[in-house]
């Protein structure tokens, strides 16, 4: 996949059409802008507006054409809860001490004022639908009303997604629920990793979230005295890759671009890789070793189908804003909580410090902002909190780790930071710390208890955007490694406040 920005000419037509849509202005234009905050689980930059030629994502592409696409936005840790907790508190993982899926940020930082909570304190009605915080670590004080995790479920007699008879003739949910010790599903935790059925969107979990979100936007439109911060969190394209068959039909297997199925980078420390363990908990996925090509093609199709499914949901949200007369007074932000490896470097999943895992989509549009611009400077997800404050005209709290991206939205040639930092653990005492500069990605893996450096990686993005060759031990780059090491150490107190510099 081409990782550089690409804005197809055809999209400019879409943008023009949008700009000519008759404006329906809110009754009270003096009030603060509303926020529609769309979180998408495990969404990498496999979007048309990010230059992915095989992605069919017209609605997100059109959204990007109404605002600013941040081409190099990085999460702070490539897994759900640490990334989300970081973005929603505006703090780095080391500050809130959230590195896993079950630790709540209020354990280490009880007095944190979260992004939605801050808006609530400033007169907003804050409401959540779907997956905003990770499951089980919701933050009730963030919301004006309790979050709705499942949306408006549709009653149906049809078999639900997951109730599925495999080619082996075994009903998957039953087989996996029983955790059979023998047979084809022995030891698996979940059902199938991918699935398609010819059923309406709203019979899926994400479709039900859209129904609830559209209903809620309609209700909010009746209360013009109170601005809203509505967070909608979609579950796909997170595993399992389940989407209605019409989205699968967009991606015939023979048309899939398989060029990203690559080997591990040359000269890499083993610890940088994963064994794709999350995927391997799903039925019919080999417990170890390489995946058969046909399976990988179906997984790829499934990921793209789920992405197009979510794209359609985003389109329905935008349609609702326009129909309700909210579009001209609503800031829309769309972000994926981290990236995802789709067979590149032999990996299926996240949980790494590579570009594919830490880079994720970030698109922000304001009603009066410049349309269709691409910001190529580095930014981090900790920047989202101060940015939304600035755009809504709220004071930026002084303790946040990030900076406002508003100057970039005013002039996309602006850059507000020289480095983007991410981190990933490989056990209680083993950490990978990574810094992205304009040109390089530099990563160190360190064993804190044993005080040893396990491995070092350097990738030159001017010649190797897919990070296929580790240059850390190449003599020609010795000075670069030294310089980046120094930057990492100098920035550690703010970038990784829990890191112990051991070399």
Say whether residue 243 binds Ca ion (CB under 5 A).
no
Q: Are 401 and 407 in contact (CB under 8 A)?
A: no
Residue of minimal Cβ distance to Ca ion: 80
Q: Based on CB atoms, which residue is closest to Ca ion, 42 or 485?
A: 42
Least spacing, CB of residue 205 vs Ca ion, in Å = 15
Mask 330-349, x = binds Ca ion (CB under 5 A)?
-------x------------
CA of 439: how far to CAs of 343, 374, 449, 461, in Å?
A: 24, 18, 32, 5
Mask 35-54, x = binds Ca ion (CB under 5 A)?
------xx------------
- Comparing CA positions, the residue from 404, 78, 123, 457 lying closest to residue 270 is 457
Least spacing, CB of residue 315 vs Ca ion, in Å = 22
Is 102 an active-site residue?
Answer: no
- Comparing CA positions, the residue from 132, 93, 131, 89 lying closest to residue 113 is 89
Q: Are 367 and 352 in contact (CB under 8 A)?
A: no
d(CA 234, CA 209): 7
- Which of residues 43, 80, 334, 408 is near Ca ion by CB under 5 A? 80
Least spacing, CB of residue 278 vs Ca ion, in Å = 10
Active-site choice (80, 306, 379, 389): 80
Q: Based on CB atoms, which residue is closest to Ca ion, 134 or 441?
A: 134
- Concatenating the DSSP letter of every residue in 338-357 gives S--EESGGG-EE--S-SHHH
**What is the longest distance spanned by two Cα atoms in the chain?**
66
- Residue 377, classified by CB atoms within 10 Å of its CB into exposed (0-12), middle (13-18) or buried (19+), is buried
Residue 491 pairs with which residues in a beta bridge?
none
Q: Based on CB atoms, which residue is closest to Ca ion, 41 or 202?
A: 41
Is 338 an active-site residue?
Answer: no
Least spacing, CB of residue 338 vs Ca ion, in Å = 6
Q: Are 488 and 444 in contact (CB under 8 A)?
A: yes
Least spacing, CB of residue 384 vs Ca ion, in Å = 15
Active-site choice (104, 134, 204, 351): 134
Residue 365 pairs with which residues in a beta bridge?
332
CA of 176: how far to CAs of 41, 236, 288, 295, 459, in Å?
A: 24, 21, 19, 20, 41
Least spacing, CB of residue 410 vs Ca ion, in Å = 31
Q: Based on CB atoms, which residue is closest to Ca ion, 44 or 125?
A: 44
- Catalytically active residues are 80, 134
- Contact residues toward Ca ion (CB under 5 A) are 41-42, 80, 337
């Amino acid at each position: 996949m081409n990782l550089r920005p690409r804005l197809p000419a055809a999209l400019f037509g879409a943008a023009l059409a949008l700009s000519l849509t008759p404006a329906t202005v809110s009754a009270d234009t003096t009030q603060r802008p509303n926020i529609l905050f769309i979180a998408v689980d495990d969404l990498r930059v496999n979007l048309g507006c990010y230059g992915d030629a095989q992605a069919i994502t017209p609605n997100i592409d059109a959204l990007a054409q109404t605002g600013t696409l941040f081409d190099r936005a990085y999460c702070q840790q490539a897994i759900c809860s640490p990334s989300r907790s970081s973005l929603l508190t505006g703090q780095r993982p080391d500050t809130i001490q959230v590195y896993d899926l079950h630790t709540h940020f209020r354990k280490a930082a009880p007095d944190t004022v979260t992004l939605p909570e801050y808006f609530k304190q400033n007169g907003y009605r804050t409401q959540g639908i779907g997956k905003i915080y990770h499951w089980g670590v919701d933050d009730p004080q963030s919301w004006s009303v309790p979050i709705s995790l499942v949306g408006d479920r549709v009653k149906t007699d049809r078999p639900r997604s997951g109730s599925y008879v495999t080619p082996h003739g075994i009903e998957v949910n039953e087989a996996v629920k029983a955790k059979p010790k023998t047979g084809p599903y022995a030891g698996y935790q979940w059902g199938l990793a991918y699935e398609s059925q010819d059923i309406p969107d709203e019979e899926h979990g994400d479709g039900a979230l859209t129904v609830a979100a559209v209903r809620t936007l309609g209700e909010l439109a009746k209360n013009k005295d109170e601005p809203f911060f509505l967070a909608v969190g979609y579950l796909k394209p997170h595993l399992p890759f389940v989407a209605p068959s019409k989205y699968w039909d967009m991606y015939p297997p023979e048309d899939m671009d398989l060029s990203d199925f690559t080997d591990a980078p040359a000269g890499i420390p083993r610890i940088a890789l994963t064994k794709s363990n999350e995927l391997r908990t799903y039925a019919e996925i080999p417990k170890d070793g390489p995946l058969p090509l046909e399976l990988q093609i179906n997984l790829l199709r499934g990921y793209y189908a789920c992405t197009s499914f979510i794209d359609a949901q985003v389109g329905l949200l935008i349609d609702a804003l326009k129909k309700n007369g909210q579009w001209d007074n609503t800031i829309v932000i769309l972000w994926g909580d981290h990236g995802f490896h789709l067979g590149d470097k032999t990996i299926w999943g996240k949980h790494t410090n590579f570009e594919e895992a830490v880079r994720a989509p970030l698109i922000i549009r304001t009603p009066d902002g410049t349309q269709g611009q691409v910001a190529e400077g580095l930014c981090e997800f900790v920047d989202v909190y101060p940015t939304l404050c600035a755009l809504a005209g709220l004071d930026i709290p002084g303790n946040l780790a990030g900076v406002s991206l508003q100057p970039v939205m005013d002039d996309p040639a602006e850059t507000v930071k020289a480095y983007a930092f991410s981190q990933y653990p490989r056990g209680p005492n083993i950490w990978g710390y990574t810094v992205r500069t304009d040109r390089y990605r530099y990563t160190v893996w360190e064993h804190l208890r044993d005080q040893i450096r396990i491995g070092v990686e350097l990738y030159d993005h001017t010649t190797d955007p897919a990070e296929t060759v580790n240059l850390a031990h190449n003599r020609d780059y010795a000075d670069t490694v030294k310089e980046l090491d120094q930057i990492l150490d100098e920035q550690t107190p703010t970038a990784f406040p829990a890191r112990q510099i051991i070399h």
